[in-house]
Amino acid sequence: MKIIYTVLVFLTLFKAELNGQQCDFKIQMWIKQIKEEYPNEDIDRVSGKKIETIVYNLYSDEYFIHFFKKPFDEIKFKKLEVIAISGHSAACTRIIPGNNYELCSPARDALGMNKNYYNKNFSYEIVKEKVIEIRRLRSEYNALLKKFENDDLDINFSSLVEWESNLKGEYAVLLLPSEITLISNKIISIKQQLADKELNNKLNDIKKLENSYNSLNKVLSFKNDYRQLILSASNESKNQINQETQSKVNKILDIIIPNELKELTVKSQNINELNMFYKSFSDKYVSVSSYPQVISAKNDIIQKKVNKILEDMDDIETQVESSKIVNDLERIEKIYLSYINKINNNEIYALQTRISNRKIEINRQIKLAEQKRQEEIKQRIAREEREKQLAEAKAMAAYGFDFKSDGISNEDLLKNIFIGNFDEISIKRDAIEFYYIIHSYIYIKAKKYASYLPENKEEIYEIECIETTQEKDYWSGVVTSEYCSKWGEVPQGYFSSPELYSAYKIIRDYEFDNRSSNVGGTILDLIYANKGGGQINMDPLKKVYQDENVAYSDIDHLLALNGCNSKSIRRFEENLIRFSKNESPIILDCSLGSN
């Protein structure tokens, strides 16, 4: 039977569509009710929560019973055919709110016509639940409106605040705008009446307070204590609160401020006591610091302090002139000039100027003393350096050494290697700077002084790339990158003594392992630093080559000055080898020094 009934309804819908029937008058009037709720909106295009509110209310008792004689949750399904049909009527779709299916879906669902293509929020069961919920809300709503119309209204302010909160919750979702506006305006009006009445009572309590400091705090906190009431009060009530609290504060201050000042007597108080009194008074009345009574009282205290300063001026000036450090002057400023910066008094201004000038003089003396100290340190260091050089020269002469290093950039470094003073060497043996030194030494000897090499000399090998790999573009065959895939030792055609070459290989291997973080790393840093465009900063790369050139020049000059096979150079080479191998040095007397 149900299937036959559904088919009949579909046939009715189809027939209505073919005949181009006018939209049923009942449907038109039913929808017209809700349109009046949204006079400035095109409800044919609404969606989301708003269309839900519209549909739920059209099916609610308020709008449904008048046209369909029974509540939606009690009506026979056959009575819903006219709503179901409207969704397929071209004439009706022009006035139906939202999309066609939303208003018709509850009726179609009840008739078994929907096939999961409608929003579940518009199913028969969901709309039925909402209708029952709206019925409950409207019952509460109407009861509250009736209560508001009662001349003997018995409701407190907090209950109204709670109702306002409800209006923003389920009421705002399910009731219509006109209903929310009506009840909101009622609540605002009654809240204002209750707030005005309660605030008036509270103000009367404020007026009755005694004129004391404790009462002052109560008056000042009045607006904060009753902030919620004041927000709801009328402008007239707010103005009255401002006037009454202001008046009460003035009355209290007129009484308590003079009493505070009675404690202040110049004869019994010194500057420190006046400072403490001023600070205590300012802190105590900070919340009313803009009131004329407080401003006047603070000026009186300051004037008493100024009078006391003028009495003690000779003593103060003596303290200023006898001060040796700036801290003493800052202490004087804190005692005598605190709180009186804005005082227009020539003698006070003169005192401020004297203290400022004395600070400048002390700082000048301190600067001169520091300059003198630095100069003495500089002279002492120079004297000690001369004494050290004389002692070294004397010691070298005593042991038959004559190590010349004039004009060498890294003179101290090379001399410390020669003497065996490894503790004073400023670089480590795995540093790139030391690699430049031993690299320059071994190659200059090999190139310029080969005749002095021993018979068991060894050829020098360097680690170089012996095999590369290319990567090519798959389609064009163009080489896109090339990298070293195999490293090996390659002879250089130069020779060295076995001892020196053994030491050099240690440092060479260090340099090879660290190459990416030295020269290669520097180049990569330069490339990445320039990714944003602009001029490359070549300073780091320049420094690498400058250090290498300086090292080569120093070693070349050293060998030329001293002779390749001199006693001094042989000792230099011995210690160069020992430093490379992390061994103890040989000092001038041929004993082993500290490593």
Res 21 pLDDT > 80: no
Res 242: pLDDT: 93
Res 542: pLDDT: 52
Res 3: pLDDT: 42
Q: Does residue 166 or residue 455 have the better pLDDT? A: 455
Res 372: pLDDT: 92
- The pLDDT tens digits for 104-156 are 889 888 888 875 555 788 889 999 999 999 999 899 888 888 888 776 667 77
Q: Of 294-303, 307-316, 517-526, 568-577, where does mean pLDDT reach its minimum?
A: 517-526
Q: What percent of the chain has pLDDT over 70?
A: 88
- The pLDDT tens digits for 197-212 are 888 999 999 889 999 9
Range 246-263 average pLDDT: 90
Res 533 pLDDT > 90: no
Instruction: Please state, in angstroms and rounded to a whole number, the distance separating the CA atoms of residues 319 and 232.
Output: 62
| pTM beyond cutoff 0.95 | no
Looking at every residue in the chain, the average pLDDT score rounds to 83
Res 325: pLDDT: 92
- The pLDDT tens digits for 210-245 are 999 999 999 999 889 989 888 888 999 999 999 999
Return the structure tokens found at 358: 């004395």
Res 5: pLDDT: 40
Q: Give the residue from 197, 219, 217, 199 showing the smallest Cα distance to 208.
A: 219
Element (H, E) at 320: helix 313-322
Res 541 pLDDT > 60: no
- The pLDDT tens digits for 385-415 are 777 777 777 777 777 788 888 889 888 889 8
Cα dist from 314 to 310, 320, 347, 351, 476, whole Å: 8, 10, 11, 10, 97
Q: Which of 15-19, 42-46, 116-120, 174-178 has the highest mean pLDDT?
A: 174-178
Q: Of 87-91, 298-302, 521-525, where does mean pLDDT reach its minimum?
A: 521-525
Res 524 pLDDT > 50: no
Res 526 pLDDT > 50: no
Res 592: pLDDT: 58
Interstrand relation of 479-496 and 458-472 (parallel, antiparallel or unpaired): antiparallel
Res 548: pLDDT: 86
Cα dist from 219 to 231, 260, 294, 395, whole Å: 18, 19, 16, 92
**Residue 257 pLDDT grade (very low, low, confident, very high; cuts 50, 70, 90):** very high
Q: Are 511 and 544 in contact (CB under 8 A)?
A: no
**Per-position DSSP letters for 76-135, written without gaps between them:** -GGGGHHHHHHTT-HHHHTTSSSSHHHHHHHHHHHTT---S-S-GGGSHHHHHHHHHHHH
**Residue 263 pLDDT grade (very low, low, confident, very high; cuts 50, 70, 90):** confident
Range 573-595 average pLDDT: 80
**Residue 481 pLDDT grade (very low, low, confident, very high; cuts 50, 70, 90):** confident
Res 210: pLDDT: 93
Q: Which amino acid is at 387?
A: E
Instruction: Please state, in angstroms and rounded to a whole number, the distance separating the CA atoms of residues 525 and 473.
Output: 27
**Residue 283 pLDDT grade (very low, low, confident, very high; cuts 50, 70, 90):** very high
Res 12: pLDDT: 45
Q: What is the largest CA-CA distance in the chain?
A: 133
Q: Are 161 and 188 in contact (CB under 8 A)?
A: no
Res 117: pLDDT: 52
Measured in residues, the chain has a length of 595
